[in-house]
Chains A and B, each alone.
Chain A
């Protein structure tokens, strides 16, 4: 399908997945891919990790928005901006915006947020989601990408709205929770993209998370991103000694063994990966977008660019419109 249409499906996309699957890298690649289709993009990070900004070759994100990648260039790409959201900052901002600036300072200095959030579990999550909802309503960007907490916590995080509706029946928290839930459950406004590796345990957890999110939170799921597959390469089945004689060259001592062992390793892992990708397709009927493993493990702007283009190709190859 047309990538521009793909990214215009909902303004908010929440990227979630188990730790270690490359969720942050995928978030950044999605942002760059969307920007290449001309959509201005805002990345929201909630765990205070520095990895995301590094991918763009920038200093760590702050609560104040920064530009991660300015638009322009031959393809007329749009801007990518980024920011973090912390519950404390979101609360202070909320209080300021609601005429309670006087207590906001006290709340910050006294550490009372700890106590309040203890009294009302999920309040930290709703403060963050409430702010995201505000950004979505204000159309802060054509596309807002939320780099969600790791999988187990992602469910709790997204369930916070539903839980709070039961716990706090009146007042501003109730209103926030209701509005956040409206956003999360409206497929035209919000979708969740799940990320996994083509390995057994991450695939199992992804399938569990997908059903939980759909059944318990009621969010709509976009395609699954399978990150880190080894790309196919030529010659893996050849015998090194024979291949050398065909190429009219000789191999140094030990070279034959190294070539054979490396080829065997890749073949074996590719077979495992293929098996898991198939299993995922059977257990979770969602379209898949595949991103290659980058052997140059030092991810920076050039690698990000390559991943974004892989994504655009993969999206272009998706069949029909997903809902």
Chain B
């Protein structure tokens, strides 16, 4: 059992981060499967799975509630696809003082826009869902796949972002119950607000004012929840796992995430590198290429040229990884070779598992 296998047994929450196309969703699903195999009640929350994997996990459409996957493991395996908007709706319902307040907010056009589109909403709602699954649904292991963007870890700032948003002067001006405060605002501010409303249209402005008025009184609840979620993420019960492929650009993205986590005082617990080219024997690429050259024009020369290609790419991939491996040390680096086919069923997930938990 390697360290990653141990994480699937011990961690309560695992967050996978990395750029798009590196196999993040698959990795998250394999980690949850391993948890279930170890007898735990595990759930994987994904954002945007490839269709065939989604089908394999029984994720038809957005239900925003986990569904169980049957299989011959001692624990339980559940999966769900995150629905940002309905998670936000639930959050509003939880924190509102009465059903009428919730209704006013949910039907507001400005709210409808921000619940789906405010930058960072998706990331933040993923964390909110994670907290709910962890606390309310008693899952032993919650594995969360993050969106494939540079902003994927912005939820670590969620408490601060939310506070900044709600404390914003513009917000407070909009919130002014009467025109009185508007009068008190200085000339420049008034001009500013007037110009803004000219640019975005008064309708949008009116919607915003209605929303903020309805939202009044709920700020504290939101802020407290954001802080609680952050504390959970920063605790040792949560493990952040980076997923990359051995290409220079995806390694750079993973490195960006590693630094981002370090800024929040969070350690990377494992680095998983998918799609590694296999290494055939231990000869050097250059010597192999030279041998191909001397045999040029023969079938053996062709075979050596091919071998040289793969030895070259394998050594380049290791070079790309070296810096990142140092940065995340002592976290283990787990290499997964190119698989013979794409992963889109439970057998495929098991095969990946054989490489992950060696």
Contact = CB atoms under 8 A, between A and B. Distances in A.
Contacts of A249: 295, 300
Interface stretch (B72-80, B133-141, B198-206, B258-266): B198-206
A4 interface: no
B302 A234 contact: yes
Contacts of A265: 278, 280, 310
B244 to A, nearest CB: 10
A199 interface: yes
A152 B320 CA distance: 27
A102 B344 CA distance: 55
Interface string A90-126: 0000000000101100110011101111111111100
B305 interface: yes
A298 B95 CA distance: 52
A272 interface: yes
B119 A18 contact: no
A243 to B, nearest CB: 4
Contacts of B246: 297
Interface in A209-251: 233-236, 238, 240, 243-244, 246-247, 249
From A51, A106, A115, A254, residue with most partner B Cβ within 10 Å: A115
Interface string A55-76: 0000000000000000000000
B306 A233 contact: yes
A152 B278 contact: no
Nearest to B24: A19
Contact of B306 (A20, A124, A200, A235): A235
A258 B307 contact: yes
Interface in B280-308: 280-281, 283, 295, 298-307
Given A204-B50, A258-B283, A297-B247, A236 B303 contact: yes
Interface in B241-280: 245-250, 252, 278, 280
Contact of A19 (B20, B114, B199, B301): B20
A27 interface: no
Contacts of B205: 119
A153 interface: yes
A20 B21 contact: yes
Given A115-B171, A243-B298, A259 B199 contact: no
Nearest to B194: A103
Interface stretch (B99-107, B162-170, B213-221): B162-170
A51 B316 contact: no
The CB with the most chain A CB atoms within 10 A, among B203, B300, B305, B309, is that of B300
Contacts of B320: 297
B341 A272 contact: yes
A235 B148 contact: no
A49 interface: yes
Nearest to A257: B281
A171 B204 CA distance: 12
A278 interface: no
Contacts of B310: 262, 265-266, 295
A118 B118 contact: yes
B150 interface: yes
B300 A106 contact: no
A150 interface: yes
A168 B247 contact: no
B280 A258 contact: yes
B192 A106 contact: yes
A250 to B, nearest CB: 11
B252 to A, nearest CB: 7
Helix, strand, loop or mixed for chain B's interface? helix
A297 to B, nearest CB: 4
Contact of A117 (B119, B278, B301): B119
Contacts of A167: 113, 204
A189 B248 CA distance: 34
A81 to B, nearest CB: 22
Interface string A290-304: 000001111100000
A96 to B, nearest CB: 13
Contacts of A29: none
Nearest to B188: A106
Given A20-B22, A235-B301, A235-B303, A119 B192 contact: no
A236 B302 contact: yes
B114 A258 contact: no
B247 to A, nearest CB: 7
A116 B164 contact: no
A24 interface: yes
B89 interface: no
Interface in A156-205: 167-174, 199-202, 204-205
A122 B208 contact: no
A281 interface: no
Contacts of A261: 278, 280
Most buried by B among A47, A124, A244: A244
Interface in B310-347: 310, 312-313, 316-317, 319-320, 338, 340-342, 344
A287 interface: no
Sorted from nearest, which 7 A-B pairs have the closest CB atoms? Answer: A19-B20, A235-B302, A20-B21, A258-B281, A121-B117, A234-B302, A238-B299
20 contacts: A18-B20, A20-B250, A49-B252, A116-B200, A118-B117, A119-B204, A119-B208, A120-B204, A168-B204, A169-B203, A204-B50, A233-B306, A235-B298, A243-B300, A259-B280, A261-B278, A262-B307, A265-B280, A269-B338, A295-B313
Interface of A: 18-21, 24, 47-51, 100, 102-103, 106-107, 110-112, 114-124, 150-153, 167-174, 199-202, 204-205, 233-236, 238, 240, 243-244, 246-247, 249, 254-255, 257-259, 261-263, 265-266, 268-269, 272, 295-299
